Structure 1
Amino acid sequence: MFDDRLILSYGNPHRLAVAGAFSIFTLFTYLSIFSKKKRLIVYCLFVIIGTAIFMTVSRSTILGLLCAIAAYILFYRSKHLIKVVVVAVLISLIIFTILPPRQQQRLIDPLSAPLHDRTTKQRIGIWYTALQGIKEAPILGHGLRAYSDYDSDYKEAHRAEMVDKNILIIDSRWAHPHSLYLGSLFGWGIVGTLLLIGAFIPAFRHSSGRIKTFLFLMTFFSLGYGLTELRIKSDDGAFILFFPLGLAYGSILFEHLSQKNKTTSEDQIQAKPFTTKILTLLN
């Protein structure tokens, strides 16, 4: 535990929570391959992992999970919307009661009084400097790794202006803008952001089956999680965002090559004598 939050051996509650979300989506995507008995074990794992995520009190991860689940229900299981919502609310309330009071308050504050929540105030200050950077270089951006220096220099040069606007100034050096959306625009500009979005479009159009479901869940998770967090600079964060994309393109390429090889084999059969064709097809 760290500050009444579960971290296990990850050293950081966010890393544990994101790893848990990745596990849930993976198990859910391949749930149909398990036998009925083994599915009971998987359902138990859902409860255990979900409880662990709540005990990390990683609000950004919880938001990402809600975003992914809501999108999946709306697109794939709209008939079960009410049932899922009721079950999710009941489970959430049960888990909420076992959290320490201080962590319960961390979950309540962003909903009841967001402008009084210290973390929210910090984020507003971080987002403010990121927006200024976006205005300075909207087309190509500054480079994502340039944010730390830019944020520090901007706060030093415009401290009085930020104080007048009642923006909380934290003198710590922030590694990134704590938002996938602002981070993308700050680092890569409009051009780079459009390229990032464009990379996902063919993957969604041409992937299918479980791979597409997995890509769908992970993408919407990143969209929700990315509202207040940005992990692209870390290895695990980049993996969470881009691995499903690579998996989708890999499946598309595999299907294309398999179809090509199949067509080539059929053409070879057509060129053989009749008896050889029959034997080849039977084999």
Structure 2
Amino acid sequence: MRILAVLDHPQTAALTLDTARQLSLRTGIAEIYAMHPKLAVDPDFQSPDEGLPDPAQQARFAHTVATRAKAIHQIFADWAATLPTTDQPRLHWLEPAGDIRTLVAGAAAKVDLVILPRPGTTPPHSTEQAFTGALYDAQATVLLPPLHPQATLGQHPVVAWQDNPSLTRALQSALPLLRTARQVTVLIGQSQSTVIPEPAWVADLRASGVAVNVDRFTLADQNVGEQISAHAQRAGADLLIMGAYGRPQFIEWLLDGPTHHMLRHGIWPILTHHEHSPLTGEHD
């Protein structure tokens, strides 16, 4: 298994790498590609009406890019030194320069899973571009770190069940975690008049010896994300698996709906996928 850890900012790099370490311990990852995509063009001067940067502005931009790259590489080096000397994954450092969306999409298409920095209330431009490149362009399965360091990862995953291609792909990527979990909880939100059957993979996990609990709840008028968050917290989740809810553009997906709520308020790492339908051209 190969994973890509995208390190775009010093403030989030350490937690992103720690998530990669925990995932490696749980799944026996063979290779970790730590990538710091560097801006090649100052984002303040990308359109003609913004003019061209003068020499002083060019020098400041180059200094900022170099300083950030040096700081992130030092965080990576310090993290790598803490890994065990035996049975550790092969590590690769990547520091390409160019359009961040294009760089991340190209690298994400070559790995099995991408760990992205978790966006804050006002995510940096680089984080937005990394999300767009990984989730939409490469259609990669993405793991977002928790808000704070946690002791375990995937020992008790909670699945926010929806029968759609996005969650199916996320579950396929999560199988190594699900099969070795101490317990799995499946959240099924349904209306009062509809009973949604258990997904077939629940029986498969139980047959393999994994304890699986199905938690049904009635969908209310409140934000669905709040309901998912409350049930996951009561279950004792250390990982939330959910499909990225359909939004045609990244910023809409980021700022609205259940996925937005989980990004802002869910304390756990989130494993997600966004599937693009080749037949309709729409995002599921």
Which structure shows the higher helix fraction? 1
Which structure shows the higher strand fraction? 2
User: Is the radius of gyration larger for structure 1 or structure 2?
Assistant: 1
Judge same fold: TM > 0.5, yes or no. no
TM-score range, shorter chain: under 0.3
TM-score w.r.t. structure 2 length? 0.26
TM-score w.r.t. structure 1 length? 0.26
